[in-house]
Amino acid sequence: MHRTYQPEHDHHQQRRPLRLATLLPWLLLAYLATGLYSVKTAEVAVVRRCGRALPQVQAPGLHFGLPWPFDRIDKLQMLELKRVVVGEGATDRPLGRQTDPQQAERLTGDRNLIMASAVVQYRIENARDYLFNAVDVPKLIENVASSALSNAIAGMEVDDVFTVERVAVQNEVLRATQAALKDRRAGAVATSVSLEGVAPPQEVADAFRDVTSAREDSQGAIHKAEAYASGQAELTKGDVESIRLEAEGFAGETTAKAQGDADRFTQTISQLSPGTRSLTARRLILETLEEVLPRMKKVVVDRRARDILDLGLIEEEP
């Protein structure tokens, strides 16, 4: 009796269709699962279906679309503040980044060359515009802000840029950047601009520092003098008020006294009738002597003047 053996490779060929039939549903399910995606909180998703963006922006949550490669998902953080450094930022040097000092060079209105850089913060406002209306939004912001920074500094003197006009420069760069992003519908909005550093070129840095130090000393002396002048003015005003009040009091007292003397004189005049004239004169003399004599230590009367000065006050001994 003869046995016939089937080759081993024939058994493998029979099992292969069975395995493919078993794996095919799972492979199809895995392929369809590529269309499943989730959007986190504070994110939005823009779906590009066959290369064309869908009008509806997907909110946070779980979503299902067409599998790869029909759908492409772009997720964007809408509330995140992004930053762009304009010029050679001071924060770039410690990180070892390649910087070009010429990018930070600005010419002031009085023809001085300074180094100025800024940091622009922005956020995404419209996801579709951000993705499709500008090739590189951060580069666009950098170019626009750099141009605005140069224009703002070109209209000012170097001393003003270093001191009182820093806020004005920041506001002008912010305004120009916002306007440019809006005109280009870039889908982003600039929220703030801060000058990262304003400094003279390295070759003249020492001279600039000396000038700045002298200017600060001058301003300090001016402020000190103004404070002293203000204090003296307040003190003088107080002295003037005190003198005025004292003068008014003295004037009132003098006027009252003069009025009293005038009243007494008028009363005395009214008493000088022909019958009482001698008596009134005698009374006035006595009142005057009562006022004057107590202030004298001694009264010396010459014998020869005794009869002349005798007003009846000196009694002769019998």
pLDDT in tens, 46-58: 888 787 778 788 7
**283 close to 309: Cβ distance less than 8 angstroms:** no
Check whether 231 has a pLDDT greater than 50: yes
Q: From start to end of the chain, where are the E strands?
A: 36-39, 43-49, 52-53, 61-64, 71-77, 82-86, 105-107, 113-124, 188-199
Among 45-59, 273-287, 295-309, which range has the highest average pLDDT? 45-59
Could you report the per-residue pLDDT of 172-215, keeping only the tens digit for each? 999 999 999 999 999 999 999 998 878 777 766 677 677 767 77
219-247 mean pLDDT: 86
Q: What is the CATH number of domain 82-199?
A: 3.30.479.30
State residue 299 phi and psi, 5-degree precision.
Answer: -120, 115
86-110 mean pLDDT: 64
Check whether 278 has a pLDDT greater than 80: no
Percentage of the residues of the chain whose pLDDT score is greater than 70: 76
CA pair distance 141, 187, nearest whole angstrom: 12
Return mean pLDDT, the chain. 78
Check whether 94 has a pLDDT greater than 50: no
The pLDDT value recorded for residue 95 is: 44
Which comes out higher in pLDDT, residue 274 or 234?
234
What CA–CA distances, in Å, run from 233 to 61, 219, 240, 243, 247? Answer: 70, 21, 10, 15, 21
Confidence category of residue 20, pLDDT binned at 50, 70, 90: low
Which comes out higher in pLDDT, residue 133 or 36?
133
Lowest-confidence pick of 117-121, 131-135, 166-170, 209-213: 209-213
Structural tokens at position 282: 């005698």
**116 close to 195: Cβ distance less than 8 angstroms:** yes
The pLDDT value recorded for residue 83 is: 93
The pLDDT value recorded for residue 271 is: 64
pTM over the 0.85 mark: no
Residues of the chain with CATH 3.30.479.30: 82-199
